[in-house]
Amino acid sequence: MDVINDKRWQDNSDGWVKTMNESKERKEKMERLEAYEVTITFTQDRGEGDPFDWIQDALDDSAFKEKAVKILATDVSPLDIWSDDNKWMRDASQS
Tens of pLDDT, residues 64-89: 777 777 778 888 888 888 889 988 88
Output the pLDDT for position 2.
67
5 part of a folded domain: no
Task: Give one word for 50, left, alpha or beta, with left for phi > 0 and alpha for psi -120 to 50.
Answer: beta
35 part of a folded domain: no
Angle made by CA atoms 74, 60, 37, in degrees to the nearest 5: 35
pTM of the model: 0.47
Output the pLDDT for position 45.
82
Tens of pLDDT, residues 23-65: 888 787 767 777 777 788 888 888 888 888 888 888 888 877 7
87 part of a folded domain: yes
92 part of a folded domain: yes
47 part of a folded domain: no
71 part of a folded domain: yes
Q: How many structural domains are present in the chain?
A: 1
Start-to-end C-alpha separation, the chain: 84
- CA R_g for the chain: 26
21 part of a folded domain: no
7 part of a folded domain: no
3-state secondary structure of 64: helix
Output the pLDDT for position 84.
92
Is the separation of the CB atoms in 46 and 31 below 8 Å?
A: no
For residues 50 and 90, what is the distance between their CA atoms, to the nearest angstrom? 19
Q: Give the range of the structural domain holding residue 77, as residue numbers without chain letter.
A: 65-95
